[in-house]
Amino acid sequence: MSELIKNRAYDVLQIESDAILNLKSRINQSFFQAVNLISKIQGKLIITGIGKSGHIARKLASTFSSTGTSAVYLHPAESAHGDLGLISQNDVVIAISYGGESRELMTVLNFIVRKNISLISMTGKPESTLAKASQIFLDISVTKEACPHNLAPTASSTATLALGDALAMCVLQEKGFKSEDFAEIHPGGSLGAKLVRIADIMHKGEALPLVSEGTSVKEIVAIMTHKDVRGTAGVINKKNELIGIITDGDIRRRLEKSADPLSGVAADLMNRNPKTIDQNELAEKALFLMEQMKIQSLFVLNSTSENPKKPVGIVIFHDLFTAKVR
């Protein structure tokens, strides 16, 4: 490896990491005001910028949208051709420009100043037109760019993205946005799969392998063989409460130890400490429990029902695998 290339790469990483760390001193009153303003927004968040700042603006709009704040990107060059109609009185605008004098932004600035719409600026120049036009100024200045000529936006773009992400995550926290909310707007992909609820993937109704305490071992074997969910049976009492579980392992051990393995009833071989999970829990939690306890299935209860100990479903490890909860 060329030492020249390695040293250049090291320099870039050092300069950009320093640029991010220097932002810590700028988590100040202006930042708190920005978090508060966006958290209480009545309309939508509009983020605008041109060039490299435009790319950062697009990414931040996507981040805010995916974490509970309705956000869109506005291309400043297109705004003069009708896109200004996107902005309404209850919106908040974040305008990004390191120099704060981008000609393309002026049309947007003139419009929102005239309409008295809330403006947050992200710029490296506190004396710029953009900074002075805004109600809240967020400082994204850097000591130097990672470009050896100190020209190409590099460290400044990284710092802008990092501060924008910090802003989005603080707004997420202020709004009480939870993983369950995340699941609703991320139904696709492995990330969304991990946030699926147990109720969405459990086996229920006729597929439930349930027996009573007095069910014969022979009948239990038949149920465990022919039900959709094989190798497990839940034992319920007269109140339909889950009081035990029988697995194919219990059956095998009985075959090894008993001279007449098919005699007896469920109460003779059931495990009286069945592992359960509530139907409103996330599938990710079921995966964690199964891996920790080294089990293949969990009976599902509904804690809000009239009979919270009654099994309403069963989830097996294969279900989680199929749903890509891994």
pLDDT tens string 219-268: 998 888 877 788 899 999 999 999 999 998 888 888 888 888 788 899 98
Query: Mind giving me the DSSP string for 197-222?
Result: BHHHH-B-GGG--EEETT-BHHHHHH
Provide CATH code, domain 198-322: 3.10.580.10
Please tell me the class of the 3-177 domain. alpha beta
- The whole-number pLDDT of residue 86 equals 86
Residue 82: strand, helix, or coil? coil
- The whole-number pLDDT of residue 197 equals 84
- In angstroms, rounded to a whole number, what is the distance separating the alpha carbons of residues 256 and 105? 80
Tokens read off for 99 = 């120099």
Of 202, 244, 240, which is closest to residue 220 (Cα–Cα)?
Answer: 244
**Residue with tokens 């209480």, as numbered in its chain:** 40
| Residue 187: pLDDT over 80 | no
Could you tell me if 155 and 134 are in contact, meaning their C-beta atoms sit under 8 angstroms apart? Answer: no
CB-based burial of residue 89 (10 Å sphere; 0-12 exposed, 13-18 middle, 19+ buried)? exposed
Q: 152-171: per-residue pLDDT in tens?
A: 899 999 999 999 999 999 99
CB-based burial of residue 250 (10 Å sphere; 0-12 exposed, 13-18 middle, 19+ buried)? buried
Q: Hey, what amino acid is at 40?
A: K
Tokens read off for 290 = 């199964």
Domain boundaries, the chain: 3-177, 198-322
| Residue 186: pLDDT over 60 | no
Q: 16-58: per-residue pLDDT in tens?
A: 999 999 999 999 999 999 999 999 999 999 999 999 999 999 9
| Residue 99: pLDDT over 80 | yes
- DSSP state, residue 137: E
Beta-carbon contacts of 264 under 8 Å, excluding residues fewer than 6 positions away, are: 216, 217, 254, 258
| Residue 77: pLDDT over 90 | no
- Tell me the pLDDT band of 180, cut-offs 50, 70 and 90: low
State the average pLDDT for the chain. 89
- Tell me the pLDDT band of 85, cut-offs 50, 70 and 90: confident
- The whole-number pLDDT of residue 184 equals 59
